[in-house]
A and B are shown apart, each in its own frame.
Chain A
Amino acid sequence: MTFILFAEQVLNGLQLGVMLFLMAAGLTLVFGVMGLINLAHGSLFMVGAFAAAAVAGATGSFLLALAAALAAAAAAGAIVEVVVIRRLYNRDHLDQVLATFALILIFSEGTRFIFGSFPLFLDTPDWLSGPVTLPGGIQYPIYRLALIVVGLVVALGLYLLITRTRLGIQIRAGENDREMIAALGVDISKLYTIVFALGAALAGLAGALVGAIQSVEVGMGEPILILAFVVIVIGGIGSIRGALVGAILVGLTDTLGGLLLPSFFRTFMEASAASAVGSGLASMSIYILMAVVLMLRPTGLFGAKA
């Protein structure tokens, strides 16, 4: 295996990782502040992608499409929070799982009702398409580099938001003691709506960004939702820092596992059998990673002690 191939795969792992972070950040925020498990987070990812595809189709502008994705997902998130989610905060996890499972059904079939059953078209803008040559002779798509940059910028922004702003202080306070901040006069239900909409917007952004290099279709949110769950469990539920570390760990494990395991098996097996066994194991690798982390630390890498 050449250095160039390896370096390219590391970049790919990083790119997958930062996109997972956008998904995981919202999930973990909502869990940390409101104590809510939201299975419907993947639906907000899908809403973002469909909104972006619709607007890009109508206007031809990628930036407008991104704005639309943010707005649509945030709006969908806020509406869902007000109508359904806020009734779930005081319920046990079981009710939350079931209610948000029901939301998935409604979102998926509703989207199909509006947009039909065929995948929609969403492409990278001209000014971000094609490859660039990086130092060391690595050819890499500009768009994927841009994804890495956007993801890291969002991570930085989130860090600043939480450490430096009034909203951030309220969020951190909410994670520690819910009753207290209500007693201090913070409008808790408004805070919750804002946090939920913020998480939704991040998911929608991820949906639009990823949708441009994948296919925009109903059901696109669930596979990435499960990956995002793995991420926050590894990182520690409720921890933004844990989500970032977990996301990059999962991204790298997934990408490098897919590369290394088949070639490992090829050293002592026939090529196509090695490929089948290796990639089968690779698809299980992140779950194995998660099981190992939880065996060693039952509350994840950065989770609070239970």
Chain B
Amino acid sequence: MTLKSLAIAGAIAALGSAAWAEDVRIGMITTLSGGGAGLGIDVRDGFMLAIEQSGAENVEVIIEDDERAPEVAVRLSDEMIQADDVDIMTGIIWSNLAMAVVPSATAQGVFYISPNAGPSQLAGRGCHPLYFNVAWQNDALHEAAGAYANSAGYGNSFILAPNYPAGQDALTGYKRTYGGDLAGELFTDLGQTDYASEIAQIRASGADSVFFFLPGGMGIAFVKQYADSGVDLPLVGPAFSFDQGILQAVGADALGIVNTSQWNRDIDNATNAAFVESFVAAYDRLPSLYASQGFDAANLILSALESAHPDDEDAFRAALAAAEFDSTRGDFAFGSNQHPVQDIYVRRVIQEGDIFTNEIIGTALEDHGDVYAAECSY
């Protein structure tokens, strides 16, 4: 295993916590190359920042690139479990990769802490005692967008998302909380880059607002083309299209757009302020939503390691479930299905000097869990 990117963290035998005198191995599989690599890089950097700050000596993190391909992720997870003997796994960004890796990893007795993907299957009937999600259930930000649309007085939304499971979930999530009428509902192609046709339909629909979920490059393309089309209905969407990594590529066209997120860099607490400052110092860029999730995932794991070793499954699970760590989001707790119960905020895109970023303008949902928890029993 000499060719691996091994990152072994600094020193604190001094903590002297006898609970984990043994070494702990964490396997991180995330997207570091190809399309969408920015998300994985942010999760990794946030995660490693927390590990370095803790100075934990006995924690070894093995990082591998899944190239956003489920087959590669499966190969890497087999390698980590069968050859490297990891205790905990984390890192996966995309729901389809999570569905390929998580069920078999937990079935083989490895803890999985998701720093991003939260597919509904794993929150409901497919939940597992060893699976925790520290970011959100996939529907959460969309439900928050629906709640915001109600409070903003929108009564006739046009909604669109790519035609794949996460896109279908997004529209379902929005409709779950949104109380008004629908002016139209559209599924676009995954990876589509031209939205002229959709925008024309929005223009003709008589809507009073537009909800869209178009992650990555799709969102950049949509927002730029929308701004250019002269349609000026308000846009609402989840944070993914307006996050720190992507916002500079959208530019001024994104200014003023409202989006929903469980995190922003101006959330007022000491942990968050220290996180933002140290992230900028370490990597010379502003942290994103994903970086905060990576940071929180690492701190959750570190907090649980203080009282138990993953080999002691029950004790370690109880320690994770207690979630006794300082989250960048402030209050943080797990629901009965080990997914977050947290506040979801409404943000607006602003410009600070040359940099485009977000500010919080309200709270869409407080202490929000997910509807799938009811279907989960261990």
A residues with CB within 8 A of B: 1-2, 4-5, 8-9, 12, 15-16, 108-109, 112, 117-121, 123-124, 129-131, 139, 141, 143-144, 210, 212-220, 223, 255, 258-259, 262, 271-272, 275-276, 279-280, 283
CB pairs A–B below 8 angstroms (29 shown): A2-B204, A4-B204, A5-B201, A8-B196, A9-B197, A12-B196, A12-B197, A108-B34, A109-B33, A117-B33, A117-B41, A119-B216, A121-B249, A121-B250, A123-B224, A124-B224, A129-B227, A139-B229, A141-B230, A210-B193, A213-B221, A214-B221, A215-B249, A217-B217, A219-B34, A262-B186, A279-B163, A279-B188, A279-B189
Mark B171-192 against chain A: 1 for CB-CB distance below 8 A, else 0: 1000000000010011111010
B249 touches A120 (CB 8 A): yes
Q: State whether A214 and B220 are in contact (beta carbons under 8 Å apart), knowing that A12-B197, A121-B249 are contacts in the complex.
A: yes
Residue of B nearest to A131 (CB): B230
A117 touches B225 (CB 8 A): no
B197 touches A130 (CB 8 A): no
Q: Is the interface of B mostly helix, strand, loop or mixed?
A: helix
* B187 CB contacts on chain A under 8 angstroms: 262, 275-276, 279-280
B204 touches A5 (CB 8 A): yes
A118 touches B38 (CB 8 A): yes
Interface size in chain B (residues, C-beta < 8 A) = 44
A279 touches B186 (CB 8 A): yes
Other A-B contacts than A130-B228, A212-B224, A215-B249, 16 sampled, CB-CB below 8 A, are A5-B201, A5-B204, A12-B197, A112-B33, A117-B38, A119-B220, A119-B249, A123-B252, A131-B228, A131-B229, A141-B196, A210-B193, A213-B221, A214-B224, A219-B35, A223-B193
Q: State whether A220 and B217 are in contact (beta carbons under 8 Å apart), knowing that A117-B37, A118-B245, A123-B251 are contacts in the complex.
A: yes
Residue of A nearest to B230 (CB): A131
Within 8 Å by CB of A214, from B171, B188, B193, B229, lies B193
* A12 CB contacts on chain B under 8 angstroms: 194, 196-197, 200
A213 touches B224 (CB 8 A): yes
Within 8 Å by CB of B217, from A15, A119, A258, lies A119
Residue of A nearest to B288 (CB): A118
